Amino acid sequence: MITNVKKIMKNYEPKIYGGRKESSVLIPLVQVDGEWHILYEVRSKLVSQAGDSSFPGGKVEPGETYEEAAVRETMEELNLKREHIKVHGEMDFIIGQQMIIRCFVGEIVGVEVSDIKPNEEVEQVYTVPVKYFIENDPKYFSVHYNPRLEEEFEKSLGENEFERKLSNHGEKIPVYEIEHHSLWGYTANLTERFIEIIRENNVQ
């Protein structure tokens, strides 16, 4: 047995256990009146979390890289051609209990924001100056989780002299106050981290 195990493990490529959903998004930078902006989508009623702001992106299809997925989704959602999207690199990403969200930073070129006609998944697009985020930090709201074991699960474990208890935990949710738009959650997380990278490198 050990010989076979050694052979298997020698060439085994480790992956995240648990079947997390793999997604990819693009932070699109655009120039508006000579100033750099970040472009956001407002999700339509045809998709989940309707009315929320998000970056273009979605599920990584089989055989597709994370970057390819981000570009494809941006093309589909914003009705852009490949030549309109320049990817400049990948930044930090998010790993949640049930998902992975990889994040790329790119540039929309050769098309004006006013000429972008998104598909049916997007109600509208809008932009926010990068300068606004540099000068305005988000507000934070706390979310607390109190997990518990189901009664049947506890019974299945049998009696034990030790108390079985799951740890309570919480997290802070960033929210940017932008007129007429809801910018929070993972979109706000990634926005905040991108701005931190900008600040850390003294980019003007």
Q: What percent of the chain has pLDDT over 90?
A: 69
Q: According to the model, what pLDDT value does residue 10 have?
A: 93
Instruction: Indicate the average pLDDT of the chain.
Output: 89
Q: Which fold has domain 18-200?
A: Nucleoside Triphosphate Pyrophosphohydrolase (3.90.79)
Residue type, 82: R
Which pLDDT does position 165 carry in this prediction? Answer: 62
pLDDT, tens digit (0-9, with 9 covering 90-100), for 94-129: 988 789 999 999 999 999 999 999 999 999 999 999
Question: 178-192 pLDDT, tens per residue?
Answer: 988 989 999 999 999
Q: Give me the mean pLDDT over the 125-134 stretch.
A: 97
Average pLDDT, integer, range 30-56 = 94
Q: Which of 146, 128, 143 is nearest to 182 (CA)?
A: 128
Structure confidence at residue 161 (pLDDT): 47
- Domain limits, the chain: 18-200
Q: What is the pTM of this model?
A: 0.84
pLDDT given at position 162: 47
12-32: string of b/e by CB count within 10 Å (b at 16+)? eeeeeeeeeebbbbbbbbbee
Burial 104-113 (b: 16+ CB within 10 A, else e): bbbbbeebeb
pLDDT of 157 above 70: no
Higher per-residue confidence, 193 vs 163: 193
